[in-house]
Structure 1
């Protein structure tokens, strides 16, 4: 029997205010004030293994086939939505969630989607978000000294021509005496990092600047980041640093590997691709990145392809793994000695047409089941010209978005 799913226009409704249903806030995807927020769980699916993207696609398409869709809004992000958060490593669990109620907003238009043969849910103005207690930080899986030693080992492997680049990650943990306020944390990230993609999927929460792939009909977009420098807060000094980043041979080398991996993965699917000759400098609140937007148009033979196929081809990119990918993966397993779980994996949303937006889960943390602690992550791309102390400082800068947001709740 089909389950009715309805989408209708909603009045003014900023997506991350405290206006909500009494269901738990489970999923969110917001950028510059627009996005999608999901409450409750209609269906949830956990999957792992080398075929996780294909199994996820099959599960989603089976769920869509069970729905009687009544969409009075139309357009990207309307109708039934799947929030997805895939693991970095295939042997770890990936999570897919279909929310019970979803609120969306784009270009001043808001809509609501709900599941079930009922009238539009009554949205109540309540403020039940918990207030976090004092945050205490603990060392993660790897000490500072041990991590810098790992970086040194990676540099030696690169200089021995075993590979060109590898990305090494580290983590730290924050604990609170009370439940960490997820809605407040999302709002803080949105205020401080409006140009990033703010996300929450099954306890994985963060603000990532890197878009793995957006598929809208036949148009494909990927934003590649690699090469980072920390801001000082002095505008003139930061402009000088931005200019030095744009000319840094070490950072340009790292960035070239990442762009090449994305362009090569998309090439078989696109009739044309646009890869700018030089990156631009993306300014965030705390750091600056070298960035390149790679775009393409699906070719005739690939027009039946969907976002699941593109995710599988693009993950893991050189930006979060290294190059060559196989050698980089092996070195990560050998050196990192840390379970990334869903950090650095694909995260985002997919609609009933299998279009969607999928980012890379960076600048993020995994909440514990009781939400009294969170494990946050950062990673750095290591190339021949890397320096262990400099890379550690970069990792500290990449941890700051989550650290600052947690400490100011």
Structure 2
């Protein structure tokens, strides 16, 4: 079975959820658990979870579908008292899903015991607990209980990790890119995204809190996330659902930042005019529109790709926004759009086996969906990019990939991965 017995059992639990407004929750990330952080932040707003009440684990081709079904069942049974009513209040779960159907990595939805949140200048705390066996024992005054937030930890140095090439070293990566270009030129496919790894060891006792805080400080316009050891700062919104509206941001096409203002502007203009990058970007946008459109009553896209500025590089970007037409939850849409052409390729049925063959390693949750969902099905999901998976034994595996098209140059693609590794390498003191 693709869905574990634990997931089925978790879905039958009955949760009691209380959200109350508080004066302030800042700073959020320094209040996170250093060893098991649950974080979703952008521009200083978002949610941080502590503890774990329920964990839903799934694997295989139906991992998102199974998780969505378990979540729907769990949410339907929950008793929710939400006195704030903002995105991220009430019942929420943090989630991270494996990229590939065949991956050995487990996909998870984690419901925390305590959620601290901040949005639009308002702050809140949510308590989530299992309903007592004898429901008469449940305290009706739980929502009125005094809220005691964990104290923010003092700022610490980021733990240092020395990274070395993973199972696809630089020379082998260039060879894989060259083979991908050969297949594209032979007409087998239009685009394929190839990634490589860096591997290191985390020896510090302080955990990951300082690393995540560094990502949030250096890359405030990205989705900074931490879920079950997967940490990163993604610029790409896979899908966001909020009261019947749906939005996404597609990124494909990359250039390095310039050394000075004039050089930087020139590189942005060159990226916007690049036939190679515009063609790669168009494939990614077409893929996203094709998969979202059946679920929407209306779907609009940016008239032209725009250049998105990040501290380490430029991206070509297109925003999508529409109105849901079929009542899909955010996880339903995650299932519909993942994996996008921006992280897999075109056509998808050819690109996915090519990725498995040419990369030769399990991507785990890299380039998979990461984010959160609430009890009504709304949520925010990014693509897990600029990220690393930190395992229980301290192994840190970072990932970066590039979209390969017919005029890709292996040395240039390798250099692009170096740029894309920069956020996570620097966040670990590199």
TM-score by length of 2: 0.90
Match of 1:107 in 2: 120
**Residue deviations 1:41-61, cap 9 Å, x none?**
111121011211221012112
Unaligned runs of 5+ in 1: none
Match of 1:384 in 2: 406
Q: Give the SS at the match of 1:185.
A: helix
Does structure 1 residue 320 correspond to structure 2 residue 343? yes
Whole-Å separation in 2 of the counterparts to 1:385 and 1:2: 55
* 1:131/1:373 CA distance change after superposition, 3 Å: farther
Q: How does 1:69-148 map to 2 (within 5 A)?
A: 69-92=80-103, 93-116=106-129, 118=142, 119-125=145-151, 127=153, 133-148=159-174
Q: Give the SS at the match of 2:37.
A: strand
Does structure 2 retain, via aligned residues, the 8 Å contact 1:16–1:187?
Answer: no
**Cα RMSD for the two superposed structures:** 1.8
Moved more, 224-233 or 63-72: 63-72
Q: Give the SS at the match of 2:366.
A: coil
Does structure 1 retain, via aligned residues, the 8 Å contact 2:195–2:359?
Answer: yes
Does structure 1 residue 38 correspond to structure 2 residue 49? yes
* 1:43/1:129 CA distance change after superposition, 3 Å: farther
Does structure 1 retain, via aligned residues, the 8 Å contact 2:37–2:208?
Answer: no
Does structure 2 retain, via aligned residues, the 8 Å contact 1:129–1:181?
Answer: no
Does structure 1 retain, via aligned residues, the 8 Å contact 2:256–2:313?
Answer: yes
Q: 1:168 aligns with which of 194, 213, 237?
A: 194
Does structure 1 residue 347 correspond to structure 2 residue 359? no
Does structure 1 residue 366 correspond to structure 2 residue 389? yes
Whole-Å separation in 1 of the counterparts to 2:75 and 2:297: 29
Q: Give the SS at the match of 1:142.
A: coil
**Residue deviations 1:115-174, cap 9 Å, x none?**
235534522425278755542222211111000000000000000000000000101012
Q: How does 1:164-313 map to 2 (within 5 A)?
A: 164-179=190-205, 181-299=207-325, 302=326, 304-313=327-336
Q: Give the SS at the match of 1:392.
A: helix
- Once the two structures are TM-superposed, the CA of residue 271 in structure 1 deviates from its matched residue by 1.9
Whole-Å separation in 2 of the counterparts to 1:200 and 1:396: 22
Does structure 1 residue 332 correspond to structure 2 residue 367? no
Match of 2:133 in 1: none
* 1:103/1:160 CA distance change after superposition, 3 Å: same
- Once the two structures are TM-superposed, the CA of residue 295 in structure 1 deviates from its matched residue by 1.2
Q: Give the SS at the match of 1:18.
A: helix
Match of 1:64 in 2: 75
Whole-Å separation in 2 of the counterparts to 1:306 and 1:285: 33
TM-score by length of 1: 0.94
- Once the two structures are TM-superposed, the CA of residue 306 in structure 1 deviates from its matched residue by 1.4
**Alignment coverage as a number of residue pairs:** 403
Does structure 2 retain, via aligned residues, the 8 Å contact 1:130–1:179?
Answer: no
Whole-Å separation in 2 of the counterparts to 1:172 and 1:90: 23
- Once the two structures are TM-superposed, the CA of residue 235 in structure 1 deviates from its matched residue by 1.5
- Once the two structures are TM-superposed, the CA of residue 382 in structure 1 deviates from its matched residue by 0.1
- Once the two structures are TM-superposed, the CA of residue 375 in structure 1 deviates from its matched residue by 0.7
* 1:134/1:24 CA distance change after superposition, 3 Å: closer
Match of 2:39 in 1: 28
Does structure 2 retain, via aligned residues, the 8 Å contact 1:15–1:34?
Answer: no
- Once the two structures are TM-superposed, the CA of residue 179 in structure 1 deviates from its matched residue by 3.4
* 1:406/1:24 CA distance change after superposition, 3 Å: closer
**Residue deviations 1:23-69, cap 9 Å, x none?**
96531100000001001111112101121122101211222233211
* 1:23/1:39 CA distance change after superposition, 3 Å: farther
* 1:307/1:407 CA distance change after superposition, 3 Å: same
**Residue deviations 1:248-306, cap 9 Å, x none?**
0000010000000001111111222112231000000000000000111122xx1x221
Whole-Å separation in 2 of the counterparts to 1:399 and 1:11: 38
Whole-Å separation in 2 of the counterparts to 1:124 and 1:349: 22
